Amino acid sequence: MKNSSLRFRFAPSPTGALHIGGIRTALYNYLLAKKLGGTFILRIEDTDQSRYVEGAEKYIIDSLKWCGITPAEGPGFGGEFGPYRQSERTAIYDEYIAKLILSGHAYYAFDTSEELEKYRTEAENTSRPFKYDSFTRLQLNNSLALPPETVKEYLEKNMPYTVRLKVPEDESIHVQDKIRGEVIFHSQELDDKVLRKADGLPTYHLANVVDDHLMGISHVIRGEEWLPSTAHHVLLYRAFGLEDNMPEFAHLPLILKPTGNGKLSKRDGVKLGIPVFPISWVGESEESSFTGFREAGFLPEAMLNFLAFLGWNPGTEQEIFTIDQLVEAFDIAHIGKAGARFDYEKAKWFNQQYIIHSSPENLANLLLPLLPEKYKPVSQDYLISFCKLMQERVVTINDFFENGYYFFEPVHTFDTKNIAKKWSPALKQTIQNLIEKWSACSPFNQEQIQLSFDTFMQDNQLKTGDILPVFRIGLAGTMKGPAVFDLIELWGMQEVSNRMNKAFDHFDKTLLS
């Protein structure tokens, strides 16, 4: 049932490719919104001009679309609480900043960045690092410390200024976190955060709180790294007189490196040769370009299933969950506090399971656009049969063409090790005879082919182990592929005969010299 008061948001900043942790945050918000009949919203937090990266918003949206986590509201998705891009909301923030100044919860600060840098350097070797806070603000260049006429004069002269939150001197801040329980901060630990920068734009803190309020957000579910900021956010709600109407907070556990030591970083992907992004990102240089789960051959459903388990568990043994089953099973109560290890092997296992359980028709549809040009044209039926024979033998979508190239072109590498001792030119005639026998199979299917093979072996007192591997290597070049009789059924006598003749030449050349 739809509940319009339950509103969940994913609020990324377009500062580059979206790390897989961002997709997990989006997924958890999406799942809860769906489960509770709420709304999932995308908000682009792009007020930091210095970190803005061209193309990042598109990347975020493309990633969400690929995953199938589509927002009901957001830039390009419609919705009645827009605009959903913070850079288009500056007039709203100005209004809220003015309110805070008027009520005495924020003040003008005229200190230049050079001055602040100097204070920081001076304090470096002391026991108390420099902080702009209730202890220092009265000694600094701001509207709390300066006479009102000076402040007026500075403002009239258009002197650059920032606006800072006046953190109360002695108050405690209780954050009720749905995952961590009560987290208590004391105002003395907190600095007077900048709310409006000298360029006139709001900071993350101000814009985030104003928008969560105006967009009617009921739940703020985000990464653990934002927990310390929550203290400032609560103070902002308090300053606006909105503390009783704050959203509920839940801070998700960290995603750890595969070793379990430390937070998974963007660079880990390159270092370990594994994807840590949903889709690839082409940066300016090789170091700033990243490959994605999509390009690594993952199905989005498998990746989401894997991500769902990075921090949550259903409390049962079940591991495979479709998105609908996740919606059904998901709840905040089963999200853990401890960091979750990014186990790429487990991600591959999920993908393998999804491929095994997909229909060959569905896989063929996925593979069609990826079909290398040189393999075209290929009939839909052939592609379906290919998927059916290969799907239990691959881990990623890319493996299909990598491991099964010989379905589309002649074998180029024969793994003859396994037949080195078995090969003799006399086998050529035996195999020709066998192939001729198969022509009589009716229907021409793998059962009949196998039956005829077994009879032939008996009649000629041959051992399966001496003949079958020769076929396998001859037809596919490898011992690993699908069952020989399945390949024969698919390819038919002519193709089988051609392939074996070509292989005979190769065997003679490499095994008899």
Q: How far is the CB of 128 from ligand GLU (least distance, A)?
A: 29
Q: How far is the CB of 301 from ligand GLU (least distance, A)?
A: 25
Binding interface with ligand GLU (CB under 6 A): 11-13, 45, 204, 208, 222, 226
For the beta carbon of residue 172, count every other beta carbon within 10 angstroms. 11
Complex with ligand GLU: residue 52 or 408, whichever CB lies closer: 52
Q: How far is the CB of 222 from ligand GLU (least distance, A)?
A: 3
Q: How far is the CB of 73 from ligand GLU (least distance, A)?
A: 16
User: In Å, how far are 352, 381, 388, 396, 482 from 393, measured between CA atoms?
Assistant: 9, 19, 10, 10, 8
Q: How far is the CB of 67 from ligand GLU (least distance, A)?
A: 17
Distance (Å, whole) CA 472 – CA 482: 9
Complex with ligand GLU: residue 203 or 403, whichever CB lies closer: 203
Distance (Å, whole) CA 249 – CA 196: 24
Asked if residue 81 lies in contact with residue 215, where contact means CB atoms within 8 angstroms, the answer is yes
- As annotated, the active-site residues are 266
Amino acid at 182: E
Cβ within 8 Å of residue 82, ≥6 positions away: 73, 75
User: In Å, how far are 9, 69, 289 from 16, measured between CA atoms?
Assistant: 19, 19, 10
Cβ within 8 Å of residue 436, ≥6 positions away: none
Quote the tokens at residue 228: 């310390």
The 8 Å CB, 24+ separation contacts for 166-173 are 166/104, 166/105, 166/106, 166/107, 166/137, 166/192, 167/133, 167/134, 167/191, 167/192, 167/193, 167/232, 167/235, 168/134, 168/235, 169/134, 173/231, 173/234, 173/235
Quote the tokens at residue 415: 């793994």
Distance (Å, whole) CA 277 – CA 73: 23
User: Is the peptide bond prior to 443 cis by the omega test (within 30 degrees of 0)?
Assistant: yes
Complex with ligand GLU: residue 222 or 257, whichever CB lies closer: 222
Identify the helix (H) or strand (E) that includes residue 120.
helix 113-123
Asked if residue 344 lies in contact with residue 258, where contact means CB atoms within 8 angstroms, the answer is yes
Cβ within 8 Å of residue 226, ≥6 positions away: 251
Q: How far is the CB of 233 from ligand GLU (least distance, A)?
A: 8
Quote the tokens at residue 236: 């902002």
Identify the helix (H) or strand (E) that includes residue 207.
helix 204-214
